[in-house]
Homo-oligomer: A and B are copies of this chain.
Amino acid sequence: MKSFRDPVHNLIVFQNEDQIVVDLVNTREVQRLRRIRQLGLGNIAYPGAEHSRFVHSLGVAHLMRRFLDDLREGADEQTNRLQRDLQNYRVLALASALLHDIGHGPFSHALESVTKIRHERFTSAILRSHMTEVHQVLESFEEGLSARVASVIERTFEPSRALVKLLSSQLDLDRVDYLLRDALMTGAGYGTFDVEWLLHAMRIGEVDGEPEVGLDLKKGQSIAEDYIMCRYYMYLHVYFHRTTRAAEVMVEKLLQRAAEVRAFLPGFDGLNALLQGQIDPNDSTSLTLYLQLDDGVLWTAMHFWSRHEDVILRDFSQRLLHRKIFRGIEVESEEEAQNVRSKQCKQAIARGMDPEYYVIDDQAASHAYSDPYLAPPISEQVKEPAKVRSAEASESIYLFDEEGRPHELSEASFLVYAVRNRSVYARRVLFPEEWA
């Protein structure tokens, strides 16, 4: 038995039967998540939000354990069958929960925008590569387990669609933990919801012949609404916070500049490979290099670059280290954006500064109800919003009535209906604070 204390869930316990979690926690790939903050630069706006992806991953495994232990005989036979099915996948479920974020790099948004590789591809590669400790631990438990975990996280695992949905759907345990944890750690009061009641109301049901994670209709509607609202507020106030967004975009520009001026650093092999576009998840050498990256490495690179000869690289590094974050002016239309932009570009030129780096368009968009993942590669999203959305278009939250019939949440709830077609959208033009 292994127990952890946690500011969110208080006591996290894994009994001997769940030894796989403990063994996976002790791998170097999971330990690496200790050095990557869940909210990247979120602590720039909310100083308490310093929690790591490690403690979040532990939280998701804990919620999965609770969910599996709390499944009880339900009213209808179909639910019972689905829930019994799920029990057969306990080891797989716990491992997938713990490892769902294993491929994240530091400052995920910025990194993805530079590498053009989504962190999910690294997750798959880490699980499947024979070289990783995670892979070895999984295989030592069950042959083929690493591929099954990868398949669950990739959402292609057919034997248990319910398990897939438990880890990635509108109401998955990943989101439940991160919303709660981010709300608690930021201190942003409106982001909390009653997780006890949510777990109490959650159940497995069936929609169009496919298992879905949903909620009991009677017990679950209000908590579903509250959960959607919390998500909405977290996007509005935390994930899309003006200063945090600006800092993230600045890191993006910083890495872009470092690549441009080939500001490689001796010994920073992972970072150098990244700047040269030589990171390939499917190549084991390059995967090893990727796994050297963490928040500390990037911050240290900024220390080094803050003394670099390139004035832009130097300036961006210093601004990030000393929190001289660009100011964001909210704009409501393309026209307004162009106006602000052109005005600020003139100012840049007058000051002898490169507008490409010093006047930045930032667009962040999500939906409270049908949001894509927390870490959307914004640029793609903005260019092809339809595509990004369609990827999750089928995703809904279902409320199951006493006969097991599903009711889609936004049809059952006028509140969610109102929120549904509302995007949380922030469009800003960013430029140095001192120009204002």
Interface residues of A (CB under 8 A from B): 1, 3-8, 10-11, 13, 15-16, 26-28, 31-32, 34-35, 37, 43, 46-48, 50-52, 54-55, 58, 72-73, 184-190, 193-194, 196-197, 200, 222-223, 225-226, 229, 233, 236-237, 265-267, 292, 294-300, 303-304, 321-323, 414-415, 417-419, 422
Contacts and interface: CB of A to CB of B under 8 A. Distances in A.
Given A222-B236, A233-B222, A48 B51 contact: yes
A5 B300 contact: no
A51 B52 contact: no
Contacts of A299: 35, 294, 296-297
Given A55-B48, A184-B7, A299-B296, A34 B28 contact: no
Contacts of A414: 418, 422
Given A226-B233, A322-B28, A43 B48 contact: no
A297 B73 CA distance: 44
Contacts of A10: 187, 189, 194, 196-197
Contact of A266 (B37, B222, B237, B267): B267
30 contacts: A4-B46, A5-B46, A7-B186, A8-B48, A10-B187, A10-B196, A11-B196, A11-B200, A13-B200, A27-B322, A28-B322, A31-B322, A34-B43, A34-B323, A47-B52, A47-B54, A47-B55, A47-B58, A189-B194, A189-B197, A189-B223, A190-B222, A190-B226, A226-B233, A266-B266, A292-B303, A296-B296, A296-B299, A297-B299, A418-B418
